[in-house]
Amino acid sequence: MEFPILSALTYLPLVGALIIICIPRERDEAIKATAASTSALCLALAILAWLAFDNGVGGFQLEERAEWIPQLGISYHMGVDGISMPMVFLTCLVSLVAIAYSWIVKERVKEYFALFLLLQTACVGVFVALDFFLFYIFWEISLVPMYFIIGVWGGPKREYAAIKFFLYTLVGSVLMLLGIIVLYFASGDSPAERTFDIVELIARQPATSLAPGLAMAVFIGFFIAFAIKVPSFPFHTWLPDAHVEAPTAGSVILAGILLKLGSYGMVRINMPLMPEEWMVAAPWIGVLALISIIYGSLAAMAQSDLKKLIAYSSIGHMGFVTLGLAAMNVQGISGAVLQMFSHGLITSCLFLLVGVIYERAHIREINGFGGLGQIMPKYFGVFIFVAMASLGLPALSGFVAELYVLLGTYASGSALETSTEGFAVLMSPWFAYTAIIGIVLTAAYMLWTVQRVFMGEKNERWAGLKDINSLELACLAPLMALTLFVGCYPGPLLRPIEAATMHILGALFGT
């Protein structure tokens, strides 16, 4: 039997959390060291897994299967393809960064690190689970630690933000649960034939045997669950609250990983499981994505709180992911997945940078700063780099991803491309033109923010601020390096993504 590397990757953080529970409360350093080493080990395992993974093949690899509840067709099934592999890697990387950055936490250290490790288990679990039951379990587990992280270590309105986050996402997931069970019953006529296995369900396309109204209702249930998590307009209102109140590392995980669970669910479940409904809904999903892009960018521009600004910018950037998925062609979906990866890197950097300045100044008011460029030159440099990545400067990862999404969106609307690829016309080129406005707006608010925070008169109030220290730099460096690498040379990352995308679309359209 092969080494079950995905299970190891999933449960290693849980084991770390259990070890932390056994360590006495007072021994902070031991707890932090355990957490960091567990997380580092996970990253190493993730890299090993990727090395064992064949990038050129589209289907699921490194699969693990075991019986769990055979009476109900539930099995323990894990596996990764070219879409989930980068996400698993991203999860491990961002978690390690978040845990390393959390070295500064002094309050209730034991619970803090145990919860972060539990959160890592849940997120990795969602990305590798190939059985609905397992998927749903991990999906829901991810809510609990985040609730406590926001609620215990968060800002002044933390209780409100925490419960709002929990309630919003739970509404979506219970609708998904109903959908899962309806699909389960549609998957076979007798109990022995029915299954919760996602791969098997995609092959059987149970939604086609449902009554039309019910099929669309199931689709909407799934879509709402994922759209709340993404979050797509109009389900986004929990996000700014949660982000503003969450501690820095919590925001990093929330924006870097948890939001990706939603878009991952769309590409792994919503689209392949119910392609006909997806095609019917695609223009509407595209419209929602466009509203998210424009609205998120405009709202970001109006913010005076730096953290809230980045929260709204996330809504805009995640809009590109949804838009790419709505296009339902190779470029669109690959671009969307690439954008998920790239946004995970960039937005984590941005939240870390906000955390760095908040640790020192204890305010986040953009207009309260000014002239920081002279006081904190290294910080200024890093911020410029990340801001450029966020606004889509060529040679950085955001540019490649958004370009792909726009190409896919355009292709999805033009007869020229459809004739070569054989896909339906889902949207019009105008979707792509509109999305470009979003990019322009992003550039506007990012540059304006940089100007207000770093340029101008030197503000004497902040003269004593220390520049970014080596721990913080060490946290940021790998994320920034990857941003640059993917931006300059996206090939190694795009290859598995495209292979997986073609595999999914090929199964749906028979090409």
Partner 1 sequence: MIYLIPELLLVLVGAIGLVIACAPSRERLRAYTVLGGVACIGGAVGAGYLAHLATTAEGAQIAESAPVYLSTTLALDPFSRVFAALALLVCGLTFIFSKEYLERRLDDHQPELLAIIAFASMGMCTLAAARELITIWFSVELLSVCGYVLAAFLKDDERSVEAALKYFILGATSSVFMLFGLSYVYGLTGRLDLVGIMEATAGGNIGVLLPTAAVLMLVGFGFKVAMVPFHMWCPDVYEGAPTPVTAFLSVGPKLAALAALARVFSIAFPHDTARVAWEGVLFWGAILSMTLGNAVALKQSNIKRMLAYSSIAHAGYMLVAVFVTLQTDMALAALSVYAFAYLFMNLGAFAVIIAFSNHTRSDSVRSYNGLAIRSPYLAWSWVVFGISLVGLPPLAGFLGKVFIIMAAVDTGLTWGSPLMWLLIVLVLNSVVSLYYYIGVAGRMFFKPPVTDEPVPVGGGVGTAIGICLAGTFLMVLAAGPIISAIQSSALFVLR
Binding residues for partner 1, rule: CB under 8 A, are 67-72, 74, 111, 136-137, 140-141, 143-144, 147-148, 151-152, 158-159, 162-163, 166-167, 170-171, 174-175, 177-178, 181-182, 184-185, 211, 213-214, 217
Residue pair 343/318 in contact by the 8 Å Cβ criterion: yes
Nearer CB in complex with partner 1: 130/294: 130
What is the rounded distance in angstroms from the CA atom of residue 207 to the CA atom of residue 274? 6
Q: Least separation, in Å, of the C-beta of 219 and partner 1?
A: 12
Residue pair 413/426 in contact by the 8 Å Cβ criterion: yes
Nearest to 115, CA basis, from 230, 308, 254, 242: 254
Nearer CB in complex with partner 1: 136/351: 136
Beta-bridge partners for 197: 131
Q: Least separation, in Å, of the C-beta of 64 and partner 1?
A: 17
Nearest to 486, CA basis, from 284, 294, 277, 335: 335
Q: Least separation, in Å, of the C-beta of 70 and partner 1?
A: 7
Judged on CB neighbours under 10 Å (0-12, 13-18, 19+), 155 is middle
Nearer CB in complex with partner 1: 156/510: 156
Q: Least separation, in Å, of the C-beta of 363 and partner 1?
A: 23
Q: Least separation, in Å, of the C-beta of 142 and partner 1?
A: 11
Sign of CA dihedral 446, 451, 454, 460: negative
Q: What is the DSSP string of 225-257?
A: HHHHHTTPTTS-THHHHHHHHS-HHHHHHIIII
Q: Least separation, in Å, of the C-beta of 37 and partner 1?
A: 24
Instruction: Give first-to-last CA distance, the chain, whole Å.
Output: 35
Nearer CB in complex with partner 1: 125/344: 125
Q: Least separation, in Å, of the C-beta of 178 and partner 1?
A: 6
What is the rounded distance in angstroms from the CA atom of residue 487 to the CA atom of residue 366? 29
Sign of CA dihedral 262, 264, 267, 270: negative
Give me 82's structure tokens: 């070219």
Residue 154 phi/psi, 5-degree rounding, is -85, -170
Residue pair 139/173 in contact by the 8 Å Cβ criterion: yes
Nearer CB in complex with partner 1: 72/463: 72
Q: For residue 489, how many C-alpha atoms fall within 13 Å in the half-sphere facing its CB?
A: 4
Nearest to 288, CA basis, from 257, 263, 252, 260: 263
Q: Least separation, in Å, of the C-beta of 488 and partner 1?
A: 42
What is the rounded distance in angstroms from the CA atom of residue 134 to the CA atom of residue 139? 8
What is the rounded distance in angstroms from the CA atom of residue 65 to the CA atom of residue 76? 5
Q: Least separation, in Å, of the C-beta of 287 and partner 1?
A: 25
Nearer CB in complex with partner 1: 73/490: 73
Nearer CB in complex with partner 1: 145/256: 145
Nearest to 45, CA basis, from 77, 82, 91, 76: 91
Nearer CB in complex with partner 1: 67/460: 67
How far does CA 242 lie from the centroid of its chain?
15
Q: Least separation, in Å, of the C-beta of 352 and partner 1?
A: 25
Q: Least separation, in Å, of the C-beta of 320 and partner 1?
A: 30
Nearer CB in complex with partner 1: 146/325: 146
Nearer CB in complex with partner 1: 182/389: 182
Nearer CB in complex with partner 1: 178/425: 178
